[in-house]
Structure 1
């Protein structure tokens, strides 16, 4: 029964490319117009067929994780892209949206967005064994979108360019006090402190991240210029001349966009500047990807620009600049995926094969989402007054040139060591 429903789904969906599907019965069917490299997939049992039919948006990832849905030729990424290029979502049954919406609402009710829930959700992802991140991130452990100014850039070069790009927008001046909301393993805070000589307070909810960041600061003799804290951004007090947040926004939840920007407004000096870098989508969505919600980033929400602009305006900020970076994250995810795949055996030893397939699913679907689903990175530059930011973007080239010179003079080559 389910194999017939699957066959009908693939026949309607896959009209471009070449897909060969082997069902649990052993029967093989070919779909598409035969163009391109053939992707071959296999359902190992009827349970896998049933799961895919009843809830494909979640069960597809789970079936790949447990090995009952297999890729026999090509890669997981090849299959995901083939389905996206054929617009598979148009052919999903209507009840899938209802299931996804129910799961989304029930999860939000369960977490209730208390501070302890936020810490637990951050720990779910960022307190995994640090050796995992060492396998696929750059040497500075930048776990956010890189900035590819040139096609021939390495991941390391593009991540340095990202730090330079956002720091230039921050317009740091001598004596400024800087706050980083969501600091990861400390790379950006250390970059700002070391190059500009200003003090940076950086907060995270990950115990592992703050420990590593503090160790790195000690190694680079930057303890006096940095203060890495295990602290919720809601609990930060004081006044800061500059605030920066790189991809924390996606983790605070739609219910807390107003809270975050109102808090930031209260912390920012009247002549201050704030830079916010985050993943975005072209229009609001009720739900997130069910697989990522369950296994990767529980409680996250990828916002539309309109959702963020509303919260920014409500807080009282002026939007001084908005830059959209459409394809940089697709390239970043591809680099991460390729590096992870070369370390598969090490990751399997650290966890197991099922975890590796889960991580591959996360990286492959993330890459394809930025390449084919119109996801993007946006960077807001915010202020309280009109005259604190130059009238044109010409200053960026000057600031970047200055930072590049400082990199040559001051920057410590710091490979994260465990």
Structure 2
């Protein structure tokens, strides 16, 4: 099983990994510290070299094709073991070299021109609204929820996220709001319902655009909420507030100056923006090659050290910054549970390989937030240092007020 066996000897420091190779022979790799005990079967001998040179890419592909299975264990068990031993893998010379090469190619991997951005969005978000209904909450929020309590339902946690964002926008009735990457319209509809603002949402997904428009009409806010199928870079109007949730991850490092320059142009002089994005607490790196190839082409979760220079260069104030850490791990766990409960329906829509691909995506991402370096940040931006309140009390107070409005108007 060389050279994979050599790598696994150095890799497993926590827990135990038992590997049944393509010839049926058993190999045990045990760490010095207690942890999960996982059994993995490899049915394809070519994986010995592939997993050695690029484990992040080929482990996902091998699971998708059922060339790597876990008898008596599960994918979650394996990815938990992997995440607990992640640092020892990162320190191996071959992996350090691969990361150095990948970092050199990062700007090409994340090229998001107007045409490419639309293609990248269609790859993931146009899979079909019926598919996403199988595992998202009823509001179809496809971003990190905000769990005020670990027992919160996914629906309650997603509304709490909207409430928190709305409070940080410091809204007043009648203001014009731009929602960049508006998804299925849930946040735009919420803002119109609780704050009586006028919202323009932009998306590059045809599936999302059609459903968001229908949902605004169904919610009775079509006169306040409209959605456009266009790139944010083509907008030249001025807005009192700008919000973007879960879209910045698709911008690409090379486009950060362009993004924040456009935000500066879009914001009115006393405007406020709230940016909700995945980031990392570690230094700059690269996106997972498997995730980039199969799930989110062109996507990347930045280190804050990559974001601040572009903010500073475009004359914007960072007036508030908050980090949601384990919240996305909890969100992903609920998505996974719902996905598994509807797995047969997903297989009927697509096939078994698609199901395994999405299982690998959802669980591996959960581990990135639970034991890895991923987190979510809320960055409030203004053009003037007096545009937002100078004491954070308003965020708590406004959330309490919106909670009452939700009760009165039956928003849940």
State the 1:61 CA deviation: 0.6
Q: Distance in 2 between matches of 1:105 and 1:205?
A: 28
- Residue 154 of structure 2 corresponds to 155
Deviations 1:360-411 (A, max 9, x none): 1111110000111121111011112222222221111210011011111224
State the 1:19 CA deviation: 1.9
Alignment match of 1:27 (pick from 25, 34, 38) = 25
State the 1:113 CA deviation: 3.0
- Residue 116 of structure 1 corresponds to 115
Alignment match of 1:8 (pick from 2, 6, 9) = 6
- Residue 199 of structure 1 corresponds to 198
TM-score (norm 1): 0.93
Q: Distance in 2 between matches of 1:304 and 1:240?
A: 28
- Residue 234 of structure 1 corresponds to 233
The number of residues matched between the two structures is 411
- Residue 370 of structure 2 corresponds to 371
TM-score (norm 2): 0.95
Give the secondary-structure state (helix, strand or coil) at the position aligned to 1:172: coil
State the 1:311 CA deviation: 1.2
Stretch deviating more after TM superposition (280-289 or 93-102): 93-102
State the 1:315 CA deviation: 1.2
- Residue 47 of structure 2 corresponds to 48
Which structure 2 segments of 5+ residues have no match? none
Q: Is the 8 A contact 2:80 2:367 kept in 1?
A: yes
The two structures, once aligned, show a CA RMSD in angstroms of: 1.9
- Residue 212 of structure 2 corresponds to 213
Q: Distance in 1 between matches of 2:85 and 2:155?
A: 34
Change (3 A) 1:356 1:104: farther
Deviations 1:12-66 (A, max 9, x none): 2223212211111111122225945521110012123332223212111101111
Q: Is the 8 A contact 2:179 2:199 kept in 1?
A: yes
- Residue 338 of structure 2 corresponds to 339
Q: Is the 8 A contact 2:120 2:297 kept in 1?
A: yes
Matches within 5 A, 1:226-305: 226-305=225-304
Deviations 1:340-377 (A, max 9, x none): 11211111111111111111111111000011112111
Stretch deviating more after TM superposition (393-402 or 11-20): 11-20
Q: Is the 8 A contact 1:146 1:329 kept in 2?
A: yes
- Residue 393 of structure 2 corresponds to 394
- Residue 63 of structure 2 corresponds to 64
Change (3 A) 1:81 1:37: closer
Change (3 A) 1:37 1:80: closer
- Residue 325 of structure 2 corresponds to 326
State the 1:274 CA deviation: 0.6
Give the secondary-structure state (helix, strand or coil) at the position aligned to 1:124: helix
State the 1:86 CA deviation: 2.3
State the 1:99 CA deviation: 4.4
Q: Distance in 1 between matches of 2:339 and 2:44?
A: 29
- Residue 141 of structure 1 corresponds to 140
State the 1:105 CA deviation: 5.9
Which structure 1 segments of 5+ residues have no match? 414-418
Q: Distance in 1 between matches of 2:22 and 2:96?
A: 27
Q: Is the 8 A contact 1:195 1:407 kept in 2?
A: yes
Q: Is the 8 A contact 1:195 1:411 kept in 2?
A: no
